[in-house]
């Protein structure tokens, strides 16, 4: 792997840094898990899109800059380092967008991608169901063909950003009598369609970061099928591969957290035990290791390689690293950690890391069976 950047990539970084320095809001936006904050973040996304920074690695015809994945990683480092707002349309931009680019028809790309880039349409995931979370293949929500429409019934839950989102993507059982990963199709569902009921789910902080989505004979055009009928599992696995392997948590996010942790520690170092210095040092080295590994993964992908089951290692690493960094920050804060603040909020959110995007227990099973080749226990 070549660890040096080209002059063009250095210039790209400088341009991104300059724009962010001039445009990132001076005051934090309200939480995007509130109605007010959701719309404030949507406006921020439009500002990014107007300047060409919303989806830098997408083709220009869909709102991007036509840049590569290396440039995207560079932009992410600059974005998080600048203290810019979180991405309210992360599901659409980072998860659905790449899958649409790979599997979508020309009509679907033209219809959906520009609106995702500007966050005119914000998306949530429709994976988990009340009795089907980590074991996604056991889902029971159905789609029955009626002419040129699917009729959807069932329930999705833990839909991130679902409380205020405009659309949901998910997989549904479309083949009667099918089981497990067979007979599923990947569908795009407008959340304002008749028969859709969205019920917000409050997080630990009381805000509606998730939602349950109830589907009662919801009619969706067959044209909203992404990929072929019955190919939902293959496409969903492509989504989760992107999610766990590269795009869900870029290194820039954790590099920014580690930098804030170092700054916090230095402000109080004289009164802190040496053991905390070691933990802060570990945070810095862990994030740099994750950064280098991600650049290796992208280089491997760009060279024609595939991102496979080893992405589960990635997901375990960043989710547990994030928890360690926030625990260390709370130890540095001492009694002040009991007060509400960015580190407390970040710690509460980090607790969800080993659960969402496939629990770490399931990821460890995948590593054992598909990476290490161990027998099923």
Catalytic residue numbers, as ranges: 243
Count Cβ atoms below 10 Å from residue 111 Cβ, excluding itself: 16
**Contact predicate 264/255, CB 8 Å:** no
Beta-strand relationship, 184-190 and 123-126? unpaired
Q: How many angstroms separate the CA atoms of 307 and 243, rounded? A: 11
CA terminus-to-terminus distance, the chain: 37
Place of tokens 């492509």: 238
Q: How many angstroms separate the CA atoms of 280 and 283, rounded? A: 5
DSSP string of 11-80, one letter each residue: HHHHHHHHHHHHHS-SSPPPPTTSHHHHHHHHHHHHHHHHTT-SSTTS-GGGTS----HHHHHHHHHHHH
Both tokens assigned to 220: 């969706």
Q: How many residues does the chain have?
A: 377
Long-range CB contacts (< 8 A, 24+ apart) of 257-265?
Answer: 257/283, 257/287, 257/322, 257/325, 257/326, 257/346, 258/283, 258/284, 258/286, 258/287, 258/325, 259/81, 260/329, 261/325, 261/328, 261/329, 261/332, 264/329, 264/332, 264/333, 264/343, 265/332
Q: How many angstroms separate the CA atoms of 109 and 61, rounded? A: 10
Chain centroid to Cα 376, Å, comes to 30
Both tokens assigned to 246: 């590269």
Largest Cα–Cα distance of the chain, in whole Å? 72
């Amino acid at each position: 792997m070549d660890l040096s950047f080209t002059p063009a990539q250095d210039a790209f970084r400088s341009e991104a840094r300059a724009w962010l320095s001039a445009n990132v809001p001076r005051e934090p936006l309200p939480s995007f898990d509130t109605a007010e904050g959701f719309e404030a973040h949507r406006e921020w996304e439009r500002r990014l899109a107007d300047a060409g920074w919303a989806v830098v690695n997408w083709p220009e015809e869909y709102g991007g800059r036509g840049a590569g994945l290396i440039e995207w990683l560079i932009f992410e480092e600059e974005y998080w380092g600048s203290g810019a707002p979180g991405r309210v349309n992360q599901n659409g931009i980072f998860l659905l967008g790449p899958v649409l680019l790979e599997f979508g028809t020309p009509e679907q790309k033209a219809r959906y991608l520009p609106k995702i880039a500007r966050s005119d349409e914000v998306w949530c995931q429709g994976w988990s169901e009340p009795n089907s979370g980590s074991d996604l293949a056991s889902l029971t929500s159905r789609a029955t063909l009626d002419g040129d429409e699917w009729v959807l019934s069932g329930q999705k839950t833990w839909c991130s950003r679902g409380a205020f989102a405009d659309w949901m993507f998910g997989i549904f059982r479309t083949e009667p009598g099918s089981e497990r990963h067979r007979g599923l199709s990947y569908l795009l569902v407008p959340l304002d369609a008749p028969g859709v009921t969205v019920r917000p789910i409050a997080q630990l902080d009381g805000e509606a970061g998730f939602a349950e989505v109830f589907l009662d004979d919801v009619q969706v055009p067959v044209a909203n099928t992404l990929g072929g009928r019955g190919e939902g599992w293959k496409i969903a696995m492509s989504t989760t591969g992107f999610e766990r392997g590269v795009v869900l948590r870029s290194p820039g996010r954790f590099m920014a957290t580690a930098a804030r942790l170092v700054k916090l520690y230095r402000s109080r170092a004289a009164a802190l035990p040496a053991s905390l210095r070691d933990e802060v040092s570990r945070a810095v080295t862990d994030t740099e290791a994750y950064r280098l590994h991600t650049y290796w993964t992208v280089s491997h992908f760009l060279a024609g390689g595939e991102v496979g089951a080893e992405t589960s290692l990635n997901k375990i690493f960043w989710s547990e690293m994030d928890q360690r960094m926030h625990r260390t920050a709370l130890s540095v804060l001492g009694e002040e950690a009991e007060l509400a603040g960015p580190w407390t909020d970040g710690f509460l959110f980090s607790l969800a890391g080993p659960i969402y995007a496939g629990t770490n227990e399931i990821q460890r099973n995948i590593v054992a069976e598909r990476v290490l080749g161990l027998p099923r226990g």
